[in-house]
Amino acid sequence: MTVTIAVFTRDLRVHDNPVLTAAHREGAAVVPLFVIDAAIAAGRFAAPNRARFLAAALGELDAELRAIGVRLVVRRGNVVDAVAEVAAQVHADSVHIAADVSGYSRRREQALRERLEERGCLLHSHAATITAADPEVLVPSTGRDHFAVFTPYFRRWTEAHQRKPFGKPRELTMPPVASDPLPEAEQLCAGPTSPQLAVGGETTGRKILRDWLSGPIAGYEDNNDDLAADATSHLSPYLHFGCVSPVELVHRVDMATPGGHAFARQLAWRDFHHQLLAARPDAAWSDYRPRSVTWRDDPQAVTAWQDGRTGYPVIDAAMRQLRAEGWMPGRARLIAASFLAKSLRVDWRIGAAHFLHWLVDADLANNQLNWQWVAGTGTDTRPNRVLNPLRQAKRYDPDGDYVRRWLPELAHIPGAAVHTPWRENVDPGVYPAPITECVGM
């Protein structure tokens, strides 16, 4: 009997999963395997919010697999060792895994390939599993290995052929194999989590997807930057963990409509950052385009920013939403990041690390390269742009509803006046005065 292994990484789903589909087509029996990676658990990417989301997602994945006749096999430790051990135990002919873009994931894949080859087991890596487009295929015709500007990338992205989504397997069979228990969140990464964190998993993610496509996406172009409207999809955590498929999402979005086109553009930004990181793995922590910037060492300012006590309500509302939900809308991320990197002149890596700790959807490609874009060290064609929090608040929270939602100490101030509490005689002991003056757009 031919046995294959489907190694789940950031593709925690049974619908439109090239890894699971290929393993099913090739093998009479399939072992669905997830390895709790000791290197990630011990590294700086580990975070309690993502651990809690991951634990729930693994539970939902196991339930989805049991519905088609198998179960999720869980192992802990070094990924290469764990996969090779399972391959030997079940006499696997091949192993399937999603292609990823970080330097670590690529080194891990190469090491796994070499280990499996020692016993005549093949490793198949599947592109367009974590992203909608293959990062290594969608490259400029100039011969460069990546696009450095988004607009030409998006043009190519919209024109490129994309595979059709796969259905989920109707039924799977697996050989006898031992498994560790499904992990609890605290076993993955202990520490405080956001009280209003979303529930992880494919079942939950697909319900959010259906609700989003059934109507709200139509208003996305007009409302996505409206902070109070909360008019974004909230799908980013489910895309990050692969609970929903980016290929299926692009396939189901009607790009001929203004809302669909605007939403697809955000999905393309995600792919854009992944292809850039695939070509430049060091951009996760090094300046993509180095500038002569002297960063300020100001721990008190950093703490005020992290705690939502800068004196600028729109900034503080965003940072408190981050702590409460492990998430915030894209516009809030831009305003908060610009304030730290451009107004306070604090190294973008400090802000990126804080976001990595709290954001449940944070990955090295999108989090780090969005921070670089804001800091002027990334792909922004206007690297000196500065987002003024007062002007941004007037534009994207004109009635102050977003601020009042997250800053209860200012809830009594009506309308747009909430954005300038120092003019409303608010006691600095209740809410602080601005920690700096701001300029910009």
This model's pTM is above 0.95 = yes
Block residue for tokens 């980016």: 246
Instruction: Return the pLDDT at 434.
Output: 97
Residue-range domain boundaries for the chain? 3-129, 131-164+203-279, 299-423
Average pLDDT of span 151-169 = 94
* pLDDT of amino acid 418: 98
Residues contacting residue 291 through CB under 8 Å, at least 6 positions apart: 376, 377, 383
Please say whether the beta carbons of 67 and 202 come within 8 A: no
User: Are the folds of 131-164+203-279 and 299-423 the same?
Assistant: no
Token pair in block for residue 180: 């560790």
CB-based contact 35:79 (threshold 8 Å)? yes
Ramachandran region of residue 138, left (φ > 0), alpha (ψ -120 to 50) or beta?
beta
In whole numbers, what is the pLDDT of the chain averaged over residues?
A: 96
How confident is the model over 97-120, as pLDDT tens digits? 999 999 999 999 999 999 999 999
User: What was the pLDDT predicted at 440?
Assistant: 76
Identity of residue 332: A
> Is 77 in a helix, a strand, or coil?
strand
Which class in CATH covers the domain with range 299-423? mainly alpha
As given in the structure block, the two tokens for residue 121 are 């087991």
Contact 46, 183 (CB under 8 A): no
User: What is the length of the chain?
Assistant: 441
pLDDT of residue 45: 86
CATH superfamily name and code, 3-129: HUPs (3.40.50.620)
Q: What is the per-residue pLDDT for 321?
A: 98
User: What one-character DSSP code corresponds to residue 125?
Assistant: E
Residue bearing tokens 């076993």: 187
CATH number of the domain located at residue range(s) 131-164+203-279 in this protein = 1.25.40.80
